[in-house]
Structure 1
Amino acid sequence: MHRAVSKAAMFVVAGALLYGCGGGNDNAPAVQPEETRPQDARTFTIDAAAVAQKFTPLAGAPAADRWSGVLGKAGYMVEVPAAWNGKLVMYAHGYAGTGTALDVNPPSIRRHLLEAGYAWAASSYSTNYYDVRAGVEDTNALAQAFTEIAKVNGRALAAPTRVYIIGHSMGGHVSAAAVEAETLQTANHKVAYHGAVPMCGVVGDTELFNYFGGYQTAAQQLAGVPATSWPVSNWAQIVSTVQAALFTIYPATNTGQGEKLRQIVKNLTGGERPMFAIGFSGSPASKSVQDAVWSTFGEDGTVNGVLTQNVVDTTGLTFQMDDDAALNAEEQVFNTTIFRVKPVPDANRLRRDGLRWIPKTAAQVSVPVLTLHTLGDIYVPFSMEQIYKRRADANGTARWLVQRAIRGISHCDFTVAEQVRAFDDMVAWEQAGTRPDGDDVLTPSVVANSNYGCRFTDNTFGVDDTASTKALRQGAMTAAPCTP
């Protein structure tokens, strides 16, 4: 059954668990306040009644208790099957825009979790915008409050024997950051997760914003209106000129300069690989994804006020217009003359009051992490996985990382079957110690193979797959089928 938590119960949960009760040190030195950000002055609201109303039973799923309410300033959903297996899965949602209204939704593998006996919980987070710090803290606070929420709703539960975290897109960043050593040290709400499945995640953290900056400055350079400062204050006035120089039909048909841009973006997003061409301009979904990327252009590098100073850094990017790693004469001139965006060095420094404003994903992990990423995604590109793998290799933690390439053409267009397999394989790895198979994401010849990604792509559709995912996959299968 579903019960919305009463106001009294919300007070108990929020006061006793979110902020702690008893055992404090009255003589502890006060934490010095940090500078404020635009994000700190924003007000967000959660309609708890609307969340409760939409949190209905899943047709055909096992019987379960469902509870929703507000914890601190975040809404939540919690679902515990009648035959609970003692394990809890935290779900981290993706970017929800810049509006003031918060929302919370269940994970796409909800049915599987219930059938397998898992409880799950999801937070709205207390803010919108790209606030991964809030995502980690509010998700962790909800995990800590799980048994108390059950208790005030009349069901006494033991503490979970295992707590896992999964997430999509920005939620992939949340779930990867949640298992980082730095997070365990600096978070205000500390949860030692037993494993994670970041999907289509920003596992390169601020490198995503470097890519956006590189794409914009390359587009301007090729269009003949090069950037000369950052931010580009006249972007709104020149964007139509830039697009007209690069596309005869945006983004479906390139000009000669636009083809150079396509090659540059391919190499910035992971190199030659199946599905990239379809994702860039070869499908009905391409425009919406390109629009999402281009909507980031012209910004000041503060990630819409989540930071106070510019974090974008294009000084380490190499712009290549072909598949040869050696730079030809044209590429040498391009890389020498293009405007390089330089960050403020401490824009995303460690804070005195908890996590970094944009938490790091340094791959300093000690629990199983299994990632999924679509090959055609140019919004949160496949290069995120390559960055994450290089970090794991550098930190000696690659034994805890398995990555899988999926032949999707858009952002997060996974089938439920692919997500279920990833989750189950991560759990089996954590429980039994046998590391599952994954894909090599770094060897160019492997990634460029026409069948790359076929091994873990599963185009079997179930009752919970969305119409958009089905349409995208059917288009992908037709345009780029796997071959024996």
Structure 2
Amino acid sequence: MLGGAAAAQAAPGPTAPRPTACPQPVPDTARCYTGADGAGAFYWIAIPKDWNRNVLVMHAHGGPETGPPKLARSEEDLKRWAITVKAGHAWAGSTYRRGGYGVTMAAEDTERLRRIVVRHFGEPRRTLLHGQSYGAGVAAKAAELYAPAGGAKGPYDGLLLTSGVLGGGNAAYDFRLDLRVVYQYVCRNHPRPDEPQYPLWQGLPMDSTLTRKELAERVRECTGVGLPAAQRSPEQAARLKTILTAVKIPERSLLGHLNWATWLFQDLVQTRLGGRNPFGNIGVVYAAAPAEVAALNAGVARYAADPQAKGALAADSQPTGRTALPTLSLHAIDDPTAFVELEGAYRRIRDAAGTGDLLVQSFSAEREHSYLSDPEYPALFDALLDWIDKGEKPTPERIAARCAALRPRYDSDGKNACHIEPGWQPPALESRVPSRAP
């Protein structure tokens, strides 16, 4: 586990689940509960009417948040994932014990909450792990810790990964160092020349007062992002094109990724890794227009990763693939936040571990990250449960057919179609993010 656990020393004591009014859009027939796990995390639990201890879904949320844990975070997760309760499954989600990066820590917190649910509401017939975004890495880690391949039967029966930041923090975040160095070469305002200079892998000095609003203003100043395209100067448009071409991200996610490469890097590097750098770009060749490519690659800052920092980040977040759990995944093809190519990296890990036969991946023709279409999730839950209960291993084609069959039930407003593309496969991650030096 990465450093920073001292923050949990002042954690509130554990509390039994307290009855709480369910937030909309959770069905009003459900029962909801909140509490603290005693290690620093808060939680929400939602139990549908006539649950009868059937299926519990343990939810690992995305992020990570960089501030202290707040109960409202878990409430927002429950509201977003109310489809789980509508499908008849109990739902439980932890805030995690502290903010900041820590995949193994968050996996432990998810398991701690599962034990609380069992203690107070009984052992369910089936327990599924569902990880979303960064939480997919958390859930994958929990599956390896608590349901290892070749081990005794653990507390979980199946694993669902959606919009997953998979493959470990090293592979998943390398491109954000690329963004920092390319952005700084082009814009030279993060930091500005008259501000204290620092290696960009630090994210931001700990004593910096820069705000997200101020960073957005700097991005707009340089690239015009935040302005209608027609209002951008030719120079702004050219600078934006250079950045997006080199880093291979869409314009709509530029500011979000730059925020992560600032404040999450600040937490990860300086708080969790003791100031050591896990990211390097020695030898990386950045794409650009022919007239720009030589100057760009000669001009960007270059950093070598610290081997110990790389190892610590990998130990905390890198999947081994060694889990006995049947695993389904769903990822939007045009996900602007977690590259769909990360699914290929996870496939290679599972195949190398000898558990590739327990992984079925599906992809949807969608452009979102935080949430996909309503009927797709019940289709995945049902397919995973049939695989567990009946031995019926799903295929993307069958998942798509399930989604179509469930759509009338979950698409009341006509806005939740099924978008699964059964024959689609992701390109290699290296086609999106240049390989690093060993």
TM-score (norm 2): 0.70
Is contact 1:102–1:128 with CA below 8 Å preserved after alignment?
no
Rounded Cα–Cα distance in structure 2 between residues aligned with 1:93 and 1:113? 16
Q: CA deviation at 1:244?
A: 6.5
Distance 1:94 1:360 in 2: 16
Pick closer, same or farther for the CA change 1:462–1:393 going to 2, 3 Å: same
2:241: which partner in 1?
259
The answer to whether the 8 Å contact 1:179/1:192 transfers is no
2:281 corresponds to 1:314: yes
Q: 1:171 aligns with which of 135, 144, 149?
A: 135
**1:92 maps to 2:60:** yes
Contact 2:87–2:378 (8 Å) recurs in 1: no
Offset, 1:303: 5.0
Higher mean C-alpha deviation, range 237-246 or range 396-405: 237-246
The within-5 A match list for 1:71-470 is 71-73=37-39, 74-80=41-47, 81-84=49-52, 86-95=54-63, 97-103=65-71, 104-105=74-75, 106=78, 108-113=80-85, 115-116=87-88, 118-150=89-121, 157=122, 159-180=123-144, 184=148, 191-206=154-169, 207-223=171-187, 229-230=199-200, 231=202, 243=219, 247-250=223-226, 253=229, 255-266=237-248, 280-281=250-251, 286=252, 289-298=253-262, 299-300=265-266, 302=268, 305-308=271-274, 309-315=276-282, 318-321=285-288, 331=293, 334-335=296-297, 338-347=300-309, 349=311, 356=315, 358-438=316-396
Alpha carbons of 1:94 and 1:312: their partners in 2 closer, same or farther (altered >3 Å)? same
What whole-Å deviation, never above 9, does each CA across 1:231-261 have from its counterpart, x for those lacking one?
A: 3769969978984786244576462342232
Task: Evaluate the alpha carbon distance shift between residue 434 and residue 102 of structure 1 in structure 2; reply closer, same or farther with a 3 A threshold.
Answer: same
For residues 35-70 of structure 1, give each alpha carbon's deviation from its aligned partner in whole angstroms, at most 9, with x where no partner exists: x94453365669979985443697656x55544322
Seen in structure 2, the aligned counterparts of structure 1 residues 413 and 143 have a Cα distance that, compared at 3 Å, is: closer
Aligned to 1:448: none
Residue type of the partner of 2:268?
Answer: T
Distance in 2, Cα, partners of 1:365 & 1:149: 28
Partner of residue 422, structure 2:
none
d(CA) in 2 for partners of 1:67, 1:240 = 38
Q: 1:215 to 1:394 in 2, by over 3 A?
A: farther
| Alpha-carbon shift at residue 393 of structure 1 (Å) | 3.5
Could you say if the C-alpha distance between residues 129 and 229 of structure 1 is closer, same or farther in structure 2, counting changes exceeding 3 Å?
Answer: closer
Which whole-Å deviations, capped at 9, do the CAs of 1:335-369 have from their partners, x for residues lacking one? 56643333222226469xxx95x332233333222
1:177 Cα offset (Å): 1.7
SS at match of 1:314: coil
Q: CA-to-partner distance for each residue in 1:114-156, whole Å, 9 max, x for gaps?
A: 654x333222322222333332111111222333212xxxxxx
- Higher helix share goes to which structure? 2
**SS in structure 2 at match of 1:164:** strand
CA distance in 2, matches of 1:249, 1:205: 30
Is 2:163–2:370's contact at 8 Å kept on the other side of the alignment?
yes
Output one character per residue of 1:437-472: Cα deviation in whole Å (capped at 9) or x when no partner: 239xxxxxxxxxxxxxx999989697799x9x96xx
Distance in 2, Cα, partners of 1:406 & 1:457 = 12
Distance 1:332 1:424 in 2: 52
Which SS does the other structure have where 2:247 is aligned?
helix
Q: How many Å separate the matches in 2 of 1:149 and 1:350? A: 36
Structure 2 Cα separation of the partners of residues 65 and 54 of structure 1: 8
Where 2:309 maps in the other structure, the secondary structure is: coil
Q: How do 1:34-49 and structure 2 match up within 5 A?
A: 37-38=3-4, 40-41=6-7
CA distance in 2, matches of 1:229, 1:60: 50
Aligned residue for 1:179, secondary structure, equals helix
User: Contact conserved, 2:83 with 2:374, CA < 8 A, in 1?
Assistant: no
Matched to 2:6, the amino acid is: D
What amino acid maps onto 1:424 in structure 2? D
Indicate the RMSD between aligned Cα atoms, in angstroms.
Answer: 4.5
Aligned residues: 383
State the shift of 1:222 in Å.
4.0
* In structure 1, distance between residues paired with 2:137 and 2:254: 21
Q: How far, CA to CA, are the matches of 1:212 and 1:434 in structure 2?
A: 40
CA distance in 2, matches of 1:148, 1:175: 21
Aligned residue type for 1:265: V
| TM-score (norm: length of structure 1) | 0.64
In structure 2, relative to structure 1, the CA distance for the partners of 1:264 and 1:65 (3 Å cut) is: same
Q: What are the ranges of 5 or more consecutive residues in structure 2 without an aligned counterpart? A: 191-196, 230-235, 420-438
CA distance in 2, matches of 1:136, 1:174: 5
> Could you list the runs of 5+ residues in structure 1 that have no partner in the other structure?
1-33, 151-156, 270-279, 323-327, 440-453, 477-484
> 2:129 is paired with a residue of what secondary structure?
strand
Q: Distance in 2 between matches of 1:305 and 1:380?
A: 24
